[in-house]
Amino acid sequence: MGSIQSRQAAMAFRNASARPACRNCKHGQQAYVDRMPPYDRAGWECTKGGFKVSAMAICDKHELKGHREEVR
């Protein structure tokens, strides 16, 4: 059967933090609701689209945060 790592590699397994989502997109940003406590909680917004999102949401325009495009 192999080691856990070799079985994960064979399936192209990725941890939840490595999967594409708004939380690791360069256009996703944490936004705080401007209200008095206890309602002043953080949410997420898409700076490219200009709308609220959830941290686990995803779209076709996802760009990994910190990833540079190759210049040719």
Domain count, the chain: 1
Read off the pTM: 0.65
Residue 12 within a domain:
no
Say if 7 falls within a structural domain: no
- How many other C-beta atoms lie within 10 A of the C-beta of residue 22? 20
Which tens digits make up the pLDDT trace of 30-72?
Answer: 888 777 777 667 889 999 999 999 889 999 999 988 866 555 5
Domain for residue 29, yes or no? yes
36 within domain boundaries? yes
Residue indicated by tokens 């936004």 = 31
Residue 1 inside a domain? The answer is: no
Instruction: Let me know if residue 33 belongs to a domain.
Output: yes
- E strand or H helix that includes residue 8: helix 4-10
| Sign of the CA dihedral with 31 first, then 25, 68, and 49 last | negative
Domain hosting 44: range is: 17-64
